[in-house]
Amino acid sequence: MPVRSRIRHAFLLILCTLLPLSLLAEPVDFELEGLDGKTYKLSDYRGKWVLVNYWATWCPPCREELPELEVFHANHKDKDAIVLGVAMERIKKERLQAFVDDQFLSYPILMMKPAASTELGRVPGLPTSYLINPEGELAARQVGPVTLEDLEAFLTSGSK
């Protein structure tokens, strides 16, 4: 089995293993300012899966996964899931906006100073993604890039 397939398989196993833990979890929440000036609360998205992706413009693996996150968001935003990107860096709004525009990102971009931990948990490296279930509970965490295929597979298995 190729390395990428083994990594994807391990990721899916970890996600599926973590999912049952969400049954015992308390709903999680945060409030952050968006690049658009609006305040975003995680709890505003109850009823949908939410992928919270911590990233930075200087991070090559983060930049690599952005197109896949954009496609996932576009495919699901009006149905069952959304992406919230959290730019975890010290950067001027104008520079971040230019980067987001260059990448054609349509999902909300929130801003946060670098931190080792967030309301959702530790961020040991970038990118780090947290998947929140429709009840607002933590379902999974992935340190490192995620793919569209991984997200679609998890949503299919997690929605059953």
Q: How confident is the prediction along the chain (160 residues), in pLDDT tens digits per residue?
A: 555 545 454 444 444 444 444 444 678 899 999 999 999 999 999 999 999 999 999 999 999 999 999 999 999 999 999 999 999 999 999 999 999 999 999 999 999 999 989 999 999 999 999 999 999 999 999 999 999 999 998 888 866 5
Instruction: Characterize 14-44 residue by residue with b for buried, 16 or more Cβ atoms within 10 angstroms of its Cβ, and e for exposed.
Output: ebeebbeebeeeeebebebeebeeeebebee
Domains (range + CATH), the chain: 3-158 (3.40.30.10)
Instruction: Judge whether 40 and 84 are in contact, CB under 8 Å.
Output: yes
Question: Both tokens of residue 30?
Answer: 């945060």
Read off the pTM: 0.84
